[in-house]
Amino acid sequence: MKINFSKIIIFSFVIFFLLILSLGLNKNNNYDTKNLIGKEISNFELPSIHSSESISHKDLKQNQFTLINFFASWCSPCRLEHKYLIKLTYQNKNIKILGINFKDKKNNALNFLNELGDPYSFVAEDPDGKTSILFGIYGIPESILINKELTIITKIVGPIDQRQFKEILSLTK
Amino acid sequence: MILRKIIIIYFFLFSSLQSKELNSELIEIYKNLRCLICQGQSIADSNSDFASTIKLVVKDQIKEGKTKEEIYDFLVLKYGEWIVYKPALTKNNFLLWVLPYTVLVLGGFIIFLIIRKNKLNKRN
């Protein structure tokens, strides 16, 4: 029996490309930053929105857990999640919330906190958003839960809802 | 007086050349970075908040003397391989890099076989 090499090669190529296509179609193309979970946060230092003080990664080592929350007064989903941040401060004393005011005007941010309440143990400002890049932020609101070793436990993209609120509570018990 | 003018002209020419070089390097980096919140746009093409922040960070890192590769590595660490259009060669994307060359070599080999077969047929 004569073996037709070119037919075998063409057939193998077709099978191979179908395989690649099927793998590609089954792959989850939703972008996320889950690769940061388990990693340590980068060193940073940011000024306070209220005073001349500043906060750095070293200060967060004193907290058992820290939720770093990126927010802005112009961000409407931030308003939605704010009630959960306030509830967190009452329901869990193990957790401190660091608010990072992202690309915002100081007065607007202060008005936002006056209106909705201030759940933050410290509010820092990142007016040009450059520090947010160190945390892998690409939109707000985003929140990062870290432990006292500064390791990222979870990263929430978008506003915190009831399900994520419960998840944070269970992770910080 | 003339010498002073020459020095001033030389200074302006030199700084303009330097800034052109810096700009072209920046644009090259922006073009290889994907805007993660835009539809099919690079950082160079986008005016989104995310893109403008990334541009600021890249500019700062260039000023600090970091190389292109160091900047890409930093952003890949924070946002994953997806942020660069031209990913680095790893075991996960090995096929992506090797396949075009393999197809090229294999295609050449098939053409060689066909030509040889035709020649042999003609001789017979």
The verdict on a CB contact (< 8 Å) between B53 and A33 is no
B78 and B121, same domain (yes or no): no
The verdict on a CB contact (< 8 Å) between B78 and A103 is no
Question: Shortest CA distance to B50 belongs to which of B30, B67, B68?
Answer: B30
Structural domain includes residue A113: yes
> Which residue range forms the structural domain that includes residue B97?
89-124
Structural domain includes residue A81: yes
Three-state DSSP class for residue A89: helix
Domain count for chain A, please give it: 1
Q: What pLDDT, on the 0 to 100 scale, is given for residue B44?
A: 94
Cβ–Cβ pairs < 8 A, chains A and B: 43
B107 and B63, same domain (yes or no): no
B122 and B65, same domain (yes or no): no
- A132 closest CB neighbour out of B53, B60, B75: B53
**Chain A: closest CA distance from residue B94 (Å):** 13
Structural domain includes residue A8: no
- Surface-to-core class of residue A71, CB atoms within 10 Å of its CB (0-12 exposed, 13-18 middle, 19+ buried): buried
Please tell me which residue of chain B has the smallest CA distance to A104.
B49
Q: How far is CA A173 from CA A90, A95, A154, in A?
A: 14, 9, 14
CATH number of the structural domain spanning residue A95: 3.40.30.10
* Cβ-proximal residues to A81 (8 Å cutoff; 6+ apart), any chain: A141, A159, A160, A161
Helix spans in A50-161 (H): 76-91, 106-116, 130-134
CB distance A152 to A41 below 8 Å: yes
Q: What pLDDT, on the 0 to 100 scale, is given for residue A137?
A: 92
B55 and B97, same domain (yes or no): no
- pTM for the full predicted model: 0.77
In chain A, residues with a C-beta closer than 8 Å to the C-beta of B37 are: 138-139
Could you read off the pLDDT tens digit of each residue along chain A, which spans 173 residues? Answer: 566 777 887 888 899 888 888 887 776 666 667 788 999 999 999 999 999 999 999 999 999 999 999 999 999 999 999 999 999 999 988 999 999 999 999 999 999 999 999 999 999 999 999 999 999 998 899 999 999 999 999 999 999 999 999 999 999 98
> Which residue range forms the structural domain that includes residue A95?
34-171
**Residue B48 backbone phi and psi in degrees, to 5:** -65, 165
Q: What pLDDT, on the 0 to 100 scale, is given for residue B12?
A: 62
Q: What pLDDT, on the 0 to 100 scale, is given for residue B98?
A: 86
Structural domain includes residue A57: yes
Structural domain includes residue A109: yes
Domain count for chain B, please give it: 2
Distance CA B113, CA B118 (A): 9
B78 and B109, same domain (yes or no): no
Cα distance from N-terminal residue to C-terminal residue, chain A:
72
Structural domain includes residue A165: yes
B40 and B52, same domain (yes or no): yes
Average pLDDT over residues B95-105: 86
Average pLDDT over residues B106-113: 90
Structural domain includes residue A38: yes
- The angle formed by the CA atoms of residues A53, B56 and A46, to the nearest 5 degrees, is 10
B50 and B103, same domain (yes or no): no
B64 and B78, same domain (yes or no): yes
Structural domain includes residue A163: yes
Is the minimum CB–CB distance between B54 and chain A shorter than 8 Å? Answer: yes
B78 and B105, same domain (yes or no): no
Q: What pLDDT, on the 0 to 100 scale, is given for residue B20?
A: 64
CATH number of the structural domain spanning residue B71: 1.10.8.640
